[in-house]
Amino acid sequence: MKSRLSLEGGVPLKGTVRSSGAKNAALPILAGCILTHGDSVIHNVPDLMDIKTMIKMLEALGLKTDYRSNGTLRVSSTQKIRHIAPYELVTAMRASFFVAGPVLAKTGLAKIPLPGGCAIGSRPIDLHLKGFEALGATTEIQHGFVVMKAKKLVGTQIYLDFPSVGATENIMMAACLAEGKTVIENAALEPEITDLGEFLNSAGARISGLRTNKITIEGVSQINNTEYTVIPDRIEVGTLMIAAAITLGDIVVEGIRMEHQEPLIQKLRDCGAVVEIGDDTIRVSATERVRAVDIKTMPFPGFPTDMQAQFLALLTVANGTSVVTETIFENRFMHAQELIRMGAKIKIEQNHVTITGVEQLSGADVKITDLRAGAALILAGLAADGFTTVHGLHHLNRGYENLPAKIRSLGGRISG
Ligand code: EPZ
* Per-residue pLDDT tens digits for 14-44: 999 999 999 999 999 999 999 999 999 999 9
Please report the domains of the chain, with CATH numbers, ordered by start residue: 4-20+232-415 (3.65.10.10), 23-229 (3.65.10.10)
Residues 6+ apart with CB under 8 A from 263: 301, 302, 303, 304, 307
Q: Please give the distance, rounded to the nearest whole angstrom, from the Cα atom of residue 120 to the centre of ligand 1.
A: 10
Q: Please give the distance, rounded to the nearest whole angstrom, from the Cα atom of residue 6 to the centre of ligand 1.
A: 31
The CA distance from 379 to 9, in Å, is: 9
pLDDT given for residue 343 in this prediction: 98
Cα dihedral sign for 164, 170, 175, 178?
A: negative
Would you tell me the crossing angle of helices 234-246 and 262-270 to the nearest 10 degrees?
A: 10
Per-residue confidence band for 119, with pLDDT thresholds at 50, 70 and 90: confident
Pick the atom of ligand 1 nearest to 370's CA: 22
pLDDT given for residue 122 in this prediction: 80
C-beta of residue 183 within 8 angstroms of C-beta of residue 158: yes
Looking at residues 385-404, what average pLDDT do you find?
Answer: 94
Looking at residues 339-364, what average pLDDT do you find?
Answer: 97
Q: Please give the distance, rounded to the nearest whole angstrom, from the Cα atom of residue 165 to the centre of ligand 1.
A: 6
Q: Please give the distance, rounded to the nearest whole angstrom, from the Cα atom of residue 86 to the centre of ligand 1.
A: 22
The CA distance from 81 to 99, in Å, is: 11
| pLDDT value at 319 more than 70 | yes
Per-residue confidence band for 201, with pLDDT thresholds at 50, 70 and 90: very high
Q: Please, which residues bridge with residue 284 across strands?
A: 251, 275
Is residue 33 among the annotated active site residues? no
> Is 165's C-beta closer than 6 angstroms to any atom of ligand 1?
yes
C-beta of residue 127 within 8 angstroms of C-beta of residue 164: yes
Q: Which of 116-130, 135-149, 157-171, 229-243 has the lowest mean pLDDT?
A: 116-130
23 residue type, one letter? K
CA distances from 318 to 65, 85, 303, 322 (A): 47, 46, 18, 8
Phi, psi (deg, nearest 5) at residue 72? -95, 130
C-alpha Rg value of the chain to the nearest Å = 21
Per-residue confidence band for 104, with pLDDT thresholds at 50, 70 and 90: very high
Tens-digit pLDDT profile for residues 249-289? 999 999 999 999 999 999 999 999 999 999 999 999 999 99
Residue nearest to atom 1 of ligand 1 (CA): 165
> Is 184's C-beta closer than 6 angstroms to any atom of ligand 1?
no
Q: Catalytic one among 33, 118, 176, 271?
A: 118
Q: Please give the distance, rounded to the nearest whole angstrom, from the Cα atom of residue 305 to the centre of ligand 1.
A: 9
Q: Please give the distance, rounded to the nearest whole angstrom, from the Cα atom of residue 96 to the centre of ligand 1.
A: 13
The CA distance from 27 to 304, in Å, is: 18
Residue nearest to atom 44 of ligand 1 (CA): 164
pLDDT given for residue 416 in this prediction: 67
pLDDT given for residue 389 in this prediction: 97
pTM of the model: 0.97
Q: Where are the alpha helices (DSSP H) in 115-164?
A: 126-134
The CA distance from 278 to 258, in Å, is: 9
Q: Which of 54, 93, 164, 230 to mutate to test the pocket of ligand 1 (most atoms within 8 A of CB)?
A: 164
Looking at residues 365-374, what average pLDDT do you find?
Answer: 95
> Is 27's C-beta closer than 6 angstroms to any atom of ligand 1?
yes
Per-residue confidence band for 409, with pLDDT thresholds at 50, 70 and 90: very high
CA distances from 191 to 64, 136, 307 (A): 28, 28, 15
The CA distance from 23 to 230, in Å, is: 9
Residues 6+ apart with CB under 8 A from 394: 1, 3, 49
CA neighbours within 13 Å on the CB side: how many for 204? 14
The CA distance from 58 to 48, in Å, is: 16
> Is 226's C-beta closer than 6 angstroms to any atom of ligand 1?
no
Residue nearest to atom 16 of ligand 1 (CA): 164
> Is 164's C-beta closer than 6 angstroms to any atom of ligand 1?
yes
Per-residue confidence band for 118, with pLDDT thresholds at 50, 70 and 90: confident
| pLDDT value at 117 more than 90 | no
Residue nearest to atom 31 of ligand 1 (CA): 124
The CA distance from 123 to 308, in Å, is: 18
CA distances from 350 to 335, 353, 367, 370 (A): 15, 8, 22, 19
pLDDT given for residue 1 in this prediction: 66
Would you tell me the crossing angle of helices 371-383 and 308-315 to the nearest 10 degrees?
A: 20
Q: Please give the distance, rounded to the nearest whole angstrom, from the Cα atom of residue 168 to the centre of ligand 1.
A: 10
CA distances from 262 to 18, 110, 308 (A): 18, 38, 15
Per-residue confidence band for 80, with pLDDT thresholds at 50, 70 and 90: confident
Residue nearest to atom 28 of ligand 1 (CA): 306
> Is 95's C-beta closer than 6 angstroms to any atom of ligand 1?
yes
Residue nearest to atom 38 of ligand 1 (CA): 164
Q: What is the mean pLDDT of the chain?
A: 96
Residue nearest to atom 7 of ligand 1 (CA): 306
pLDDT given for residue 339 in this prediction: 98
Pick the atom of ligand 1 nearest to 399's CA: 29
Pick the atom of ligand 1 nearest to 165's CA: 24
Looking at residues 73-88, what average pLDDT do you find?
Answer: 92
72 residue type, one letter? T
